[in-house]
A and B are shown apart, each in its own frame.
Chain A
Amino acid sequence: MDEEVIAPGHTFSTVTDKISAIVLTRKTSLGWYAGFGFSFLLTLMLFASVSYLFVKGIGIWGNNIPVGWAFEITNFVWWIGIGHAGTLISAILLLLKQTWRTSINRFAEAMTLFAVACAGLFPAIHTGRPWLDYWLLPYPNTMGVWPQFRSPIMWDVFAVSTYATVSALFWYIGLIPDLATLRDRSQSKTGSVLYGMLAMGWRGSAHHWHRYETAYLLLAGIATPLVVSVHTVVSLDFSIAILPGWHATIFPPYFVAGAIYSGFAMVLTLAIPIRAVYGLEDFITMRHLQNMAKVMLVTGLIVVYGYMIEAFMAWYSADKFEVFVPYNRMTGPYAPFYWLLLFCNAVVPQTLWFKRIRNSTIALFIIAIIVNIGMWLERFIIVVTSLHRDFMPSAWGRYAPTFWDWSTYVGTIGLFVALLFLFVRFLPMISIFEMRTILPEAKVDEDLRVI
């Protein structure tokens, strides 16, 4: 099995050379400058949008009274969901001893961090008075007031901040041995000092490695329930409400499955071009892409199951408000988006059943992008169609995003991509030391050990 995870013919030094060269020796390509420059411009657009938002107030968005939540929460859930694949790859697959995670875990974790950074922005800026967001933190204040611990928005604060912290720690701990490699291979004084500081004096002794592995495994054990509970908490933002279309007990597992689904789609969206641009076909082999496609297919089916159960339970409930929800989704003003969502999430990924499709990077790339769009639509449909028509027909409304809704959303994509560009340029995007452990020469031959 391991032969497929890494192309044959590699040794410890070729693996190290190839990955560290991207950071240390290879000339920064024009494409990198162009890509980083463009995404940085989009990031500036995000800053401008948020500044204008703070000056003018949230009325610049298209939100209104029946639809108090729209783009900001859609994007929040979308970004948080994307982040979850990173933790799944690095933590859950580690617990399951899946060696194929090795070459994708580093940038999947980076993706998690940057996605969480984008996600964390939305709860902070979508409040009407963002300068009072610190009131969500339980600290002894002069008002003698504490946050309401029964609100899932409150839990969001804990979930997302814990998730961001643990992901960052997990990522950083994973980086330490590689930072030591970069420290030792760096040709400039600045490089060796910077990487040396970050590596915190890693010497790679047996003591180091023993404790390292224990800590890493423990963190994986902590991150696994965390990743499930974080998106559960995010789903509770909706399912705790009494709104038909939100108040569904299937939300926690269905949101988590959707998170992994969209997360893997994003990993594929990123891995396929990165692999082509940096010539990493030896490390990110077709086996990785196929495995990710399979995970996507499985979680996609869970999500489809969720859609079916949602519609079935609505009908089965015999509650006229509940019955109206799927009816409104299928035939109401947002029906085209609902059908597009089903096309993106339920129909297109079924092609992944075929090995021929899973073997084609182009097909996988296109499907991954379609799933990203579909999962964004899913959150949009859940949020907006449930809100815009609920119990009282006199409180029915519509929602249409404004320019600032779009510019903020596209701006976070810019921020995400800009951070990824920086990451790819300054840190090893594949875990060097873990790649070395899956090489044939790292294996102890059981027959030889007797001697």
Chain B
Amino acid sequence: MSQIFHRSANTIARVSIFGAVFFIAGLLLVFGEVSRSPWMTEAHVAREQPIQFSHERHVAGNGIDCRYCHTSVEESSFAGIPPTKTCMNCHSQIFANSPYLEPVRDSFRTGRSIQWTRVHDLPDFVYFNHSIHVHKGIGCTTCHGQVDRMPLMWQESSLQMEWCIDCHRNPERYVRPRDAVFRVDYVPPANQVEIGTQLVADYQIQKLTSCSTCHR
């Protein structure tokens, strides 16, 4: 009776057993990486908008405070996108003839809302409240990144639940004084944890991680 398997089968068998371990481990690694990658979360991807609105120009260039446009951020769960009227406060005079601003003028004339593309879009089973975070000393840039350097808006963070939970478990790493919440140039100090721990106590920040905090 002849040999069933050629000698090369030895190598194939060894490689396949040895390789299977790496293959499975690699697969798990790739799965973990992909599910956190910007490809899945769309973080760091600048979105097209109906109007090329630049936060960089308006915040860094003109020095407008965040609350000038996002008016309800301190009172409401929803920070709000400014209505056309807010734009027209200035742009009825400034760049009044710019072709880039035609959609704004059109919206003002017709009363049809500008169809902005939402960049930070949480699923509807998540209840997020802006005002509580602002009041407890969480600055805009902590979650939204350096908005003053974004010509077009993009999502800075993954917005995945582990990202939320990380801060809710360790708020002292991210909290800042209330009067610095809207400062886009705020840099966390070297002794952040020390100051943060004090602020957590001062602001009576509860480390809320129960389901009903967000999933109401």
Contacts and interface: CB of A to CB of B under 8 A. Distances in A.
B161 A196 contact: no
A206 interface: no
Contacts of A144: 161-162, 164-166
A194 to B, nearest CB: 10
B35 interface: yes
A142 B35 CA distance: 7
Interface of B: 1, 4-5, 13, 32, 35-36, 158, 160-162, 164-166
Nearest to B28: A139
Contacts of B5: 193, 196
Contacts of B162: 141-144
Nearest to B169: A144
A142 B161 contact: yes
B158 A142 contact: yes
A320 to B, nearest CB: 35
Nearest 5 CB-CB pairings of A with B: A144-B162, A144-B165, A143-B161, A142-B160, A196-B4
A112 interface: no
A294 B111 CA distance: 87
Interface in A123-144: 140-144
19 contacts: A140-B32, A141-B35, A141-B162, A142-B36, A142-B160, A142-B161, A142-B162, A143-B160, A143-B162, A144-B161, A144-B162, A183-B4, A184-B1, A192-B4, A193-B5, A196-B4, A196-B5, A200-B13, A201-B13
Max chain B Cβ within 10 angstroms of own Cβ: one of A140, A144, A193, A196: A144
A144 B160 CA distance: 9
Contacts of B165: 144
A142 B162 CA distance: 5
**Chain A interface residue count: which class?**
10 to 19
Contacts of B166: 144
A46 B11 CA distance: 42
Interface in A144-169: 144-145
A308 to B, nearest CB: 44
Contacts of A201: 13
A145 B4 contact: no
A201 B5 CA distance: 10
Nearest to A186: B4
Contacts of A184: 1
Interface string A171-203: 000000000000110000000110010001100
Contacts of B158: 142
B147 to A, nearest CB: 24
A184 B1 CA distance: 9
Contacts of B164: 144
Nearest to B165: A144
A183 B2 CA distance: 12
Contacts of B13: 200-201
Contact of A193 (B4, B32, B36): B4
